[in-house]
């Protein structure tokens, strides 16, 4: 089961090391971790996507993270209405024949081409992870040369709905 | 006139050159540190130059690991943080085992390590080790001083973190150049720990729920762990138990939290706990855990642990609640604060006379037992003699293994903070050095260092400290010429293939003691044991006792790995 955990941490040397250390010490499985500055000075926001086997395990992770002295706030936002986005850069093989076809695939996904060379294209796509997966699936037959993904970053939407829907974020 | 005064003031400030090491000394004084266990070396030379004039006692162990174990013993007995200093590189890595040990058993330690100069950090300089990286998973927190002016604040934070909440070890890494840089004395020091606010006071509603559950229970039991001792709540536990008449079971580390001669004390539970305590946990309908963490050596197979019980768990660390055992009534609080709140709450005494009767019958029918008719010197008998000769009042430190379990079974502690043992990490070589710290914390008490012949040889060098300081520690070696517990497991689970668990070639421990100018006795019979113990236990000098105990003796009862807590073997029928 996938959980998204959002952390507000002090922006100090070694904080990320403490968190990854905790994950490896407790044998938790991280899918992605993304770090960046937050709106508050001296603090960073970290978004972790992890795989857990049970609710009990995800509660343990939250509690262990809360114990960390450099972590100010831990929120498991999996069941909230969230905006979750990931960015991927994909280098695809292309030739004059296939280029148009690839462009036609890019359009509905609102991805963009940010570099073109004789035999390849670099595509930039943002969205939730499932959307990126779907796009990769489509583009695979053309020959993917390289992929770089940022991992999910997320936070709760301004308005939380009463009913919890599974997919309460748009595809774009 | 005024101008002159100002001038003298200026001159004074100039004359008073303060370095990073001075800031460290100031901070230690502010924290009322009485004793430091430290070992000098290149990177801590600027600090040691200041220690030359320090007011606190400095104890020089003969190995850094001995130093940190001594600090653990000191912390356990005094309740104050144990302070350790080690140099960079090997000095720092030598305290790693002690840090992990203190982390597992929640002991407050503040360890200072030297580090190579900031200009060469990361260059694989001489005696450089990434001690922050190494110790992150085994400390409550660690710091590296990067700016001179941070020293006072960091040290204040380190002591605060080590001793508050769930106590634990904190490490401060100080690069050599920072310790020797000249600076000014700072003014007031403020801590900056926005992410650290341990919960101490219990939630009233949860306390109410727990009280109601007690009133409704028919087979209640209290499992009291070391949280009782860390919170200094032994008196409150006694009051609460006398009010509610709920029987008490201890964990290994909790021993002494409740007087073992009290009629409501059942005994220690766990892998080598007594029959009644384990059966009480197994069959109770209400299990109130106060300050224990449901360690696997206590619970056995979790599937069979307390299957019919409603579990209440009081712990200062929220992450411990629900970690191993599903909990119905969680209470996040300091054990003493929770007991005080419980004492204020009205509560009906549970209707548990039948349960008490069952427990009593079990206790009478299935006590600890050994072959009393054997002509060999039985380790359990030696433990009984140690108990009788010290009236259960001594401080006992142990290593890890069979002797540790026998000490826990047969030394019946009457008071809190008399028991120093490595529970969570199970560190061999812990007993002797920790006795040094324990004796320093309580110079007037009789301290027994109960060790095995193997564990003793992991820290024999600390005999030098005992001799040098003339600490009246009584070292009792339970000498079975083997790694007893390993041998026991090989006998049970590996068809008696005693792979490297027998050590017949040993030094003459009495001669070894004599080499350190410490009196030693070899004891081979019960009569000898009785005579020597009566003679030496009350002296004010160190003594080493080499008890040649039955090498084939095993610890019973025992819960085999993977078995439930009720599936004990070796119970007296």
Which pLDDT score is estimated for B257? 98
- Measured N-to-C along each axis, helices B526-536 and B379-390 cross at an angle, to the nearest 10 degrees, of 30
- Asked if B160 has any chain A CB less than 8 Å from its own CB, the reply is no
Percent of chain B with pLDDT over 70: 97
Nearest to B146 by CA among B113, B117, B171, B170: B117
Which pLDDT score is estimated for B539? 95
In total, the C-beta contacts within 8 angstroms joining chain A to chain B are 38
Which pLDDT score is estimated for B186? 82
- What are the beta bridge partners of residue A156? A82
The answer on A113 and A47 residing in a single domain is no
Residue where a domain terminates, one of A58, A76, A94: A76
Q: Name the closest residue on chain A to residue B194, using Cα atoms.
A: A72
Residue B327 pLDDT greater than 90, yes or no: yes
The answer on A119 and A149 residing in a single domain is yes
Name B142's Cβ contacts closer than 8 Å, sequence gap at least 6. Answer: B131, B132, B135, B136, B170, B171, B172, B173
Looking at every residue in chain A, the average pLDDT score rounds to: 90
The answer on A133 and A90 residing in a single domain is yes
Q: What is the pLDDT of residues B406-458, one digit of tens each?
A: 999 999 999 999 999 999 999 999 999 999 999 999 999 999 999 999 999 99
Among A20, A43, A69, the strongest candidate for a mutation testing the B interface, having the largest count of B CBs within 10 A, is A69
Active site residues of B: 64, 126-127, 176, 485
The answer on A53 and A17 residing in a single domain is yes
**Cα separation of B298 and A58, whole Å?**
24
**Cα separation of B437 and B101, whole Å?**
15
Mean pLDDT along residues A95-116: 92
Residue B553 pLDDT greater than 70, yes or no: yes
A66/B318 CB distance under 8 A: yes
Which pLDDT score is estimated for A169? 43
Q: Name the closest residue on chain B to residue A71, using Cα atoms.
A: B195
Q: Name the closest residue on chain A to residue B327, using Cα atoms.
A: A56
DSSP letters spanning B274-342: -HHHHHHHHH-SEEEEES----HHHHBSGGGSSTTPEEEEEES-GGGTTTSS--SEEEES-HHHHHHHH
User: Coil, strand, or helix at residue B406?
Assistant: helix
Looking at every residue in chain B, the average pLDDT score rounds to: 96
**Cα separation of B41 and B58, whole Å?**
15
CATH number of the domain to which A40 belongs:
3.30.70.260
The answer on A134 and A68 residing in a single domain is no
Outline where DSSP puts E strands in B128-231: 141-144, 169-175, 182-183, 220-224
Nearest to B437 by CA among B412, B420, B450, B422: B420
Least confident of A147-156, B4-13, B99-108: B4-13
Confidence class for position B342, pLDDT limits 50, 70, 90: very high
B195/A25 CB distance under 8 A: no
Which pLDDT score is estimated for B198? 94
Q: What is the pLDDT of residues B32-61, one digit of tens each?
A: 999 999 999 999 999 999 999 999 999 999
- CA angle in degrees (0–180, nearest 5) for B195-B197-B199: 145
Which pLDDT score is estimated for B2? 53
- Helical spans, DSSP H, in A7-156: 15-25, 55-67, 96-106, 129-139
CA distance A154 to chain B (A): 22
B195/A70 CB distance under 8 A: yes
Q: What is the pLDDT of residues B265-318, one digit of tens each?
A: 999 999 999 999 999 999 999 999 999 999 999 999 999 999 999 999 999 999
Confidence class for position A29, pLDDT limits 50, 70, 90: confident
CA distance A18 to chain B (A): 7
Q: Name the closest residue on chain B to residue A7, using Cα atoms.
A: B195
- Asked if A12 has any chain B CB less than 8 Å from its own CB, the reply is no
Q: Is A65 exposed, middle or buried (0-12, 13-18, 19+ CB in 10 A)?
A: buried
Mean pLDDT along residues B98-123: 98
Residue B71 pLDDT greater than 50, yes or no: yes
The answer on A60 and A92 residing in a single domain is no
Confidence class for position B15, pLDDT limits 50, 70, 90: low
Residue B138 near residue B99 (C-beta atoms within 8 A):
yes
Instruction: Quote the domain boundaries for residue A91.
Output: 83-154
The answer on A129 and A93 residing in a single domain is yes
- Asked if A8 has any chain B CB less than 8 Å from its own CB, the reply is no
Residue B66 pLDDT greater than 80, yes or no: yes
Confidence class for position A160, pLDDT limits 50, 70, 90: confident
B322/A56 CB distance under 8 A: yes
Q: Could you tell me if residue A14 is inside a domain?
A: yes
Name A147's Cβ contacts closer than 8 Å, sequence gap at least 6. Answer: A88, A89, A90, A91, A136
Q: Could you tell me if residue A160 is inside a domain?
A: no
The answer on A101 and A67 residing in a single domain is no
Q: Could you tell me if residue A133 is inside a domain?
A: yes
Which pLDDT score is estimated for A155? 85
Least confident of A96-100, B216-220, B291-295, B325-329: A96-100
The answer on A150 and A134 residing in a single domain is yes
The answer on A129 and A144 residing in a single domain is yes
**Cα separation of B79 and B69, whole Å?**
15
Q: Is B110 exposed, middle or buried (0-12, 13-18, 19+ CB in 10 A)?
A: buried
The answer on A101 and A46 residing in a single domain is no
Residue A168 pLDDT greater than 50, yes or no: no
Residue A41 pLDDT greater than 50, yes or no: yes
Tally of domains within chain A: 2
Which pLDDT score is estimated for B17? 81
Which pLDDT score is estimated for A167? 45
Percent of chain B with pLDDT over 90: 95
CATH number of the domain to which A101 belongs:
3.30.70.1150
Q: Could you tell me if residue A163 is inside a domain?
A: no
Q: Could you tell me if residue A22 is inside a domain?
A: yes
B133/A71 CB distance under 8 A: no
Residue A115 pLDDT greater than 60, yes or no: yes
B195/A69 CB distance under 8 A: yes
Q: Could you tell me if residue A164 is inside a domain?
A: no
A14/B196 CB distance under 8 A: no
Q: Could you tell me if residue A159 is inside a domain?
A: no
Residue where a domain terminates, one of A76, A94, A113: A76
Domains of chain B: 14-183 (3.40.50.970), 204-365 (3.40.50.1220), 379-555 (3.40.50.970)
Q: Could you tell me if residue A165 is inside a domain?
A: no
Tokens of B275: 């029959």
Question: pTM for this one?
Answer: 0.93
Q: Which residues of A touch B140 (CB under 8 A)?
A: 69
Which pLDDT score is estimated for B391? 95
Q: What is the pLDDT of residues B178-221, one digit of tens each?
A: 999 998 888 778 999 999 999 999 999 999 999 999 999 999 99
- Asked if B498 has any chain A CB less than 8 Å from its own CB, the reply is no
- CA angle in degrees (0–180, nearest 5) for B319-B323-B324: 155
**Cα separation of B407 and B438, whole Å?**
17
The answer on A59 and A30 residing in a single domain is yes
Confidence class for position A172, pLDDT limits 50, 70, 90: very low
């Amino acid at each position: 089961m996938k959980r998204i955990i959002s952390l507000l941490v002090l922006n100090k040397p070694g904080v990320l090391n403490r968190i990854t250390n905790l994950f490896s010490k407790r044998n938790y499985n991280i899918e992605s971790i993304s770090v960046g500055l937050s709106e508050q000075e001296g603090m960073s926001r970290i978004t972790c996507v992890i795989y857990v086997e049970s609710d009990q395990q995800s509660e343990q992770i939250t509690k262990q993270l809360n114990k960390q002295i450099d972590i100010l706030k831990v929120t498991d936002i999996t069941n909230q209405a969230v905006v979750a986005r990931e960015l991927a850069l994909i280098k695809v093989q292309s030739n004059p024949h296939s280029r148009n076809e690839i462009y036609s695939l890019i359009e509905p996904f609102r991805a963009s081409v940010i570099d073109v060379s004789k035999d390849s294209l670099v595509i930039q796509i943002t969205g939730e992870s499932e959307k990126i997966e779907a796009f990769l699936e489509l583009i695979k037959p053309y020959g993917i040369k390289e992929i770089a993904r940022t991992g999910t970053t997320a936070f709760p939407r301004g308005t939380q709905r009463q009913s919890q829907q599974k997919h309460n974020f748009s595809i774009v | 006139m005024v101008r002159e005064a100002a001038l003298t003031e200026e001159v004074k400030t100039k004359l008073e050159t303060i370095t990073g090491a001075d800031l460290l000394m100031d901070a230690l004084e502010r924290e009322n540190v009485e004793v430091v266990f430290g070992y000098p070396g290149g990177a801590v030379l600027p600090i040691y130059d200041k220690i030359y004039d320090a007011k606190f006692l400095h104890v020089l162990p003969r190995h850094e690991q001995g130093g940190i174990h001594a600090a653990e013993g000191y912390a356990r007995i005094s309740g104050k943080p144990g302070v350790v200093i080690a140099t960079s590189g090997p000095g720092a890595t030598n305290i790693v085992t002690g840090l992990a040990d203190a982390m597992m058993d929640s002991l407050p330690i503040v360890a200072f390590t030297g580090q190579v100069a900031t200009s060469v950090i990361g260059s694989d300089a001489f005696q450089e080790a990434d001690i922050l990286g190494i110790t992150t998973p085994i400390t409550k927190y660690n710091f590296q001083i990067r700016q001179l002016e941070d020293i006072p604040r960091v040290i204040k934070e380190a002591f605060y973190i080590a001793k508050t909440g769930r106590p634990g070890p904190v490490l401060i890494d100080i690069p050599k150049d920072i310790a020797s840089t000249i600076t000014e004395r700072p003014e007031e020091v403020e801590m900056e720990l926005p992410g650290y606010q341990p919960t101490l006071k219990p939630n009233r509603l949860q306390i109410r729920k727990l009280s109601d559950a007690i009133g409704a229970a028919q087979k209640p039991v209290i499992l009291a762990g070391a949280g009782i001792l860390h919170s200094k709540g032994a008196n409150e536990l006694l009051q609460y138990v006398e009010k509610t008449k709920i029987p008490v079971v201890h964990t290994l580390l909790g021993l002494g939290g409740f007087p073992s001669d009290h009629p409501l004390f059942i005994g220690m539970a766990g892998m080598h706990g007594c029959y009644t305590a384990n059966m009480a946990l197994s069959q109770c309908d209400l299990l109130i855990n106060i300050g224990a963490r449901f360690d696997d050596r206590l619970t056995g197979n979790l599937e069979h642990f307390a299957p019919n019980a409603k579990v209440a768990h009081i712990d200062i660390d929220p992450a411990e609640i629900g970690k191993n055992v599903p909990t119905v009534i969680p209470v996040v609080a300091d054990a003493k604060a929770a007991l005080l709140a419980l004492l204020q709450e009205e509560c009906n005494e549970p209707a548990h006379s039948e349960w008490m009767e069952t427990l009593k019958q079990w206790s009478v029918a299935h006590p600890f037992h050994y072959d009393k008719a054997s002509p060999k010197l039985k380790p359990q008998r030696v433990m009984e003699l140690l108990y009788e000769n010290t009236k259960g009042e001594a401080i006992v430190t142990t290593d890890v293994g069979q002797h540790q379990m026998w000490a826990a079974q047969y030394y019946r502690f009457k008071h809190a903070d008399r028991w120093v043992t490595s529970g969570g990490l199970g560190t061999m070589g812990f007993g002797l050095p920790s006795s040094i710290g324990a004796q320093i914390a309580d110079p007037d008490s009789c301290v027994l260092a109960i060790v095995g012949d193997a564990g003793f040889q992991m820290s024999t060098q600390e005999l030098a400290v005992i001799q040098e300081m003339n600490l009246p520690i009584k070292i009792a070696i339970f000498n079975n010429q083997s790694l007893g517990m390993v041998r026991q497991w090989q006998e049970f689970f590996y068809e008696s293939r005693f792979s490297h668990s027998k050590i017949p070639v040993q030094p003459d421990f009495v001669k070894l003691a004599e080499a350190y100018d410490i009196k030693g006795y070899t004891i081979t019979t019960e009569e000898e044991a009785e005579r020597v113990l009566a003679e030496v236990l009350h002296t004010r000098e160190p003594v080493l006792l080499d008890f040649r105990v039955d090498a084939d003796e095993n610890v019973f009862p025992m819960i085999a790995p993977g078995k439930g807590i009720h599936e004990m073997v070796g119970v007296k029928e």
